[in-house]
A and B are shown apart, each in its own frame.
Chain A
Amino acid sequence: MQIDEAPLPFTAARGLVKHAYHTAAEVRGVSVAIDRRTYGGALTGTVVSSNPILLAQSPLVFVVPGKRVWRWPVESVQVTAEGQVIARLGALEGM
């Protein structure tokens, strides 16, 4: 892998997996490896609260709130038994 193909690292203290305005999961220690070509990525972090019914809804988005809001569509998401979230994110929708 060439250096310029390496994913862009993105970190944040807190992010939310959302179905419309409902919070399906609150994630701490957010880490997103952003694909330089698609601006989609792979999300990992620690789930502090989640609702399995909302996590099964569609569409879901992953939002990092703040003055500049980062927002990706969620293509797939799973919460491990250890409370880690692993999600595949589509192309960045806004920031």
Chain B
Amino acid sequence: MSIRVRRPATDRLELSEGDFLIVKQDLTAGEYRELMRASMRPLLVTTTATGAATPTMELDPIAAGVAMVLAYLLDWSFTDADGRPILIADQPAAVVTAALDVIDSDAYMEVQKAIQRHQGARAAALAEEKKTRTGARAPDRTLMSVG
């Protein structure tokens, strides 16, 4: 039997000018599903022969970027123009989204790229971990009623 739930861990990502982000090290299945859901947009594909429209989904690259930031970001060191902290820790997603909307576009892109790099690094680390993981296989559990 293997452990399939990770202890929640965070990473600190350093940015320019001494700023930093606190991010989730990894996403849970639920967080990953929400990331996928928020990254897609509905699309109607029309078949030329019949003219029938079939609903489907396609990746929305803009929404996918914001969804990834929202999925990982827990806190940051950013302040407003008066030097007051922009509070995002433990705030509802709408508040974090609003904060991401008001920061400079350069700052947003720095945040998104830092989280993309983090995601790539973690994917590589997890793939490596999988290769080296060994586990004794426990005997199959059989229900008495069907045993």
Q: Which residues of A contact B (CB under 8 A)?
A: 16, 18-23, 63, 65-67, 69
Contact indicator B90/A65 (Cβ below 8 Å):
yes
Contact pattern, B 82-112, Cβ under 8 Å of A = 1, otherwise 0: 0001010111000000000000000000000
Total A-B pairs, Cβ < 8 A = 24
Contact indicator A65/B87 (Cβ below 8 Å):
yes
Contact pattern, B 1-36, Cβ under 8 Å of A = 1, otherwise 0: 000000111100000000000001000100000000
How many residues of chain B get a CB closer than 8 Å to chain A's CBs?
Answer: 12
Contact indicator A65/B8 (Cβ below 8 Å):
no
Contact indicator B7/A20 (Cβ below 8 Å):
yes
Residue from A19, A20, A22, A65 within 8 A of B89 (CB atoms): A65
B7 neighbours in A (Cβ, 8 Å): 20
Q: A20-B9, A65-B90, A65-B91 are in contact. List 9 more A-B contacts (CB 8 A).
A: A16-B90, A18-B90, A20-B10, A21-B8, A21-B24, A65-B87, A66-B87, A67-B87, A69-B89
